[in-house]
């Protein structure tokens, strides 16, 4: 698993290759294994159609101008909308853990993924478009990688450890 953690990248370019819906469902199952506060399991996933992806991408461009995220959404084989099913205090932490499991499982299967928080900018539009009333937390793009980005710089452990005065 350390290999997947080290090799995972945010992929913004995908090949036009089909992936079985069964593989996507298996990948989403990895999210179900994430820890969640009080075992609440607040995550809900919606796999959207090409038509919905196109509309989301167009609205994003309309509201914020041309951007790489809108291009990814329009062209990625699968876009998963991630929802919060209740208003428990720790839900966003649990949902983040589920998303990370999904991203790591994509890497394990040599697929690309992108965690898209930018979709919150058009949350009201997406809610109206797909008819889901739950809080939209983010989206995940999944497809066959068409790029292999270099690792981004990370802080050293010494830079993030905090010393206590007690």
Residue 80 lies in a domain: yes
- What total number of domains does the chain contain? 1
pTM above 0.85, yes or no: yes
Instruction: Give the position of tokens 């209740």.
Output: 86
Residue 48 lies in a domain: yes
pLDDT at 3: 87
Residue 166 lies in a domain: no
Residue 75 lies in a domain: yes
Share of the chain above pLDDT 90, in %: 79
For residue 166, is pLDDT > 80?
A: no
User: What's the domain range around 109?
Assistant: 2-160
- Closest residue by Cα to residue 71 from 134, 100, 79, 42: 79
Q: What is the pLDDT of residues 60-105, one digit of tens each?
A: 999 888 999 999 999 999 999 999 999 998 999 999 999 999 999 9
| Domain containing residue 17: CATH number | 3.40.109.10
pLDDT at 12: 94
Give Cα 14 distance to the centre of its chain: 15
Higher pLDDT, 75 or 10: 75
- Closest residue by Cα to residue 109 from 145, 73, 74: 145
Q: CA 17 → CA 112, 122, 161, distances in Å?
A: 12, 28, 43
Residue 165 lies in a domain: no
pLDDT at 7: 79
């Amino acid at each position: 698993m350390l290999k997947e953690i080290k090799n995972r990248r945010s992929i913004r370019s995908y090949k036009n290759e089909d992936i079985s819906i069964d593989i996507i469902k298996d990948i989403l199952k990895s999210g179900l294994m994430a820890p969640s506060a009080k075992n609440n399991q607040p995550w809900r996933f919606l796999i959207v159609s090409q038509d919905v992806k196109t509309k989301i991408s167009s609205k994003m461009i309309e509201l914020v101008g041309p951007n790489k995220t809108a291009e990814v959404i329009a062209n990625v084989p699968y876009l998963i909308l991630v929802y919060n099913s209740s208003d428990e205090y720790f839900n966003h932490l649990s949902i983040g853990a589920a998303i990370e499991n999904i991203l790591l499982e994509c890497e394990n299967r040599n697929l690309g993924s992108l965690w898209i928080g930018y979709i919150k900018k058009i949350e009201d539009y997406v809610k109206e478009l797909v008819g889901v009333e739950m809080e939209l937390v983010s989206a995940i793009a999944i497809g066959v990688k068409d790029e292999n980005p270099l690792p981004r710089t990370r802080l050293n452990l010494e830079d993030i450890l905090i010393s206590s005065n007690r």
